[in-house]
Amino acid sequence: MYFPTTRVLTVLELLQSRQQISGQELAERLEVDPRTVRRYITMLQDLGIPVEGMRGRYGSYRLRPGFKLPPLMFNDDEALALTVGLLVSRKMGLTLATPAVEGALAKIERVMPEALRERIQALQETLVVDITPTGAAPRSDIVITLSEAARQGHGIQMAYRAYEGKETQRQLDPYGLVYRSGYWYVVGYCHLRLELRTFRLDRVVRVEPEVERSFVRPDNFDCLAFVLKAIPSTPATWFVEVLLDTTLEEAQRIVPPALALLEQVEDGVVLKCYVDHLEWMAWILIRLRCTFVVRQPTELRDELLKLAQQITALAERT
């Protein structure tokens, strides 16, 4: 007879880590249906674990207040997942990540059997995580405060320093956080601009929760998709506009969505974006392998001429 011991223990661990958790969330975390979750709960109750059911749309569960279990041991897969996650977080640029990671790894190793500890230490010593630091590390307390506000649906007040150095006070309804290409972003409704905005977390000076002010996040809102669309519109040193001699379908295939906005026009596709370095943009345009016309800035044409001269000089040397 099939007895899902691992999943039942996972339910117990989730109940120990949360004051209360819905049946729907348990089903999603375990990738089972709500009826199966109820069966797991019954199994725990039959074992003498005081799991209490709470009324609601999907129902929720909690351990009886004051009930504690001794720490659970990790199996090989759990220890591997924890170790890899901690090593990756160390490379993701949180300012407090390194001491926190080292402390967590030390605690995990301390409760492991000798054979498993040696395997995990081997992974730490041999695994290379290829995440290049950007130098744009947010403070850990800012990440946590924004995450809690997004999850609990309450607003925040923050001081934000824009790319040109100007600092403004923002009242924000945070919908979620995104980590992409070395940068952390928060997406939400900005009450100063009265529209959805994206903010880089390394530019957040301070943040304070406003627990008395709640909001409802739009259903099925995709934070990553919004960030990818917003990045090309984020002001930088140069605004670039180039007419590409290609179709919109082909342009979307060769131009990353986070690089530029694309617009179909009568004689081609207009590429628009902001960049800090025109020489980098010149290389990007050459790699597109389609003809184009630079509309602005004129300085980009100069960079393309310099690049052409460099390529010609290299070709003549071979």
Nearest to 162 by CA among 277, 29, 274, 279: 274
Please indicate, yes or no, if residue 191 is contained in any of the structural domains: yes
Residues 133-167: pLDDT tens digits? 666 778 888 999 999 999 999 999 999 998 778 89
Query: How many domains would you assign to the chain?
Result: 4
Residue 229 backbone dihedrals phi, psi, to 5 degrees: -75, -30
In this prediction, residues 181-207 reach a mean pLDDT of 92
Range of the domain at 46: 5-63
pLDDT at 264: 92
Pair (149, 218) in one structural domain: yes
Pair (172, 206) in one structural domain: yes
Of residues 6 and 203, the one with the higher pLDDT is 203
Distances (CA, A) of 16 to 36, 66, 110, 312: 19, 11, 21, 66
pTM of the model: 0.62
Describe the chain by its helix, strand, coil percentages, rounded to 5. Answer: 45, 25, 30
Which sign does the torsion angle of CA 8, 14, 17, 19 carry?
negative
**Look-up of token digits 């924004």:** 146
**Cβ 14 vs Cβ 77: under 8 Å:** no
Bond into 235 cis (ω within 30): no
Please indicate, yes or no, if residue 308 is contained in any of the structural domains: yes
**Cβ 277 vs Cβ 232: under 8 Å:** no
Average pLDDT, the chain: 85
pLDDT at 116: 77
Please indicate, yes or no, if residue 29 is contained in any of the structural domains: yes
Res. 190 pLDDT band, cuts 50 70 90:
very high
Does residue 214 surpass a pLDDT of 90? yes
Residues 279-309: pLDDT tens digits? 999 999 998 889 999 999 999 999 999 999 9
**Cβ 140 vs Cβ 207: under 8 Å:** no
Pairing of strands 167-180, 60-63: unpaired
Please indicate, yes or no, if residue 131 is contained in any of the structural domains: no
To the nearest whole percent, how much of the chain has pLDDT over 90?
A: 39
Pair (198, 171) in one structural domain: yes
Pair (155, 224) in one structural domain: yes
Q: Residue 48 sits in a domain of what CATH number?
A: 1.10.10.10
Report the SS3 class of residue 200.
strand
Q: Write out the two tokens for 38.
A: 């109820």
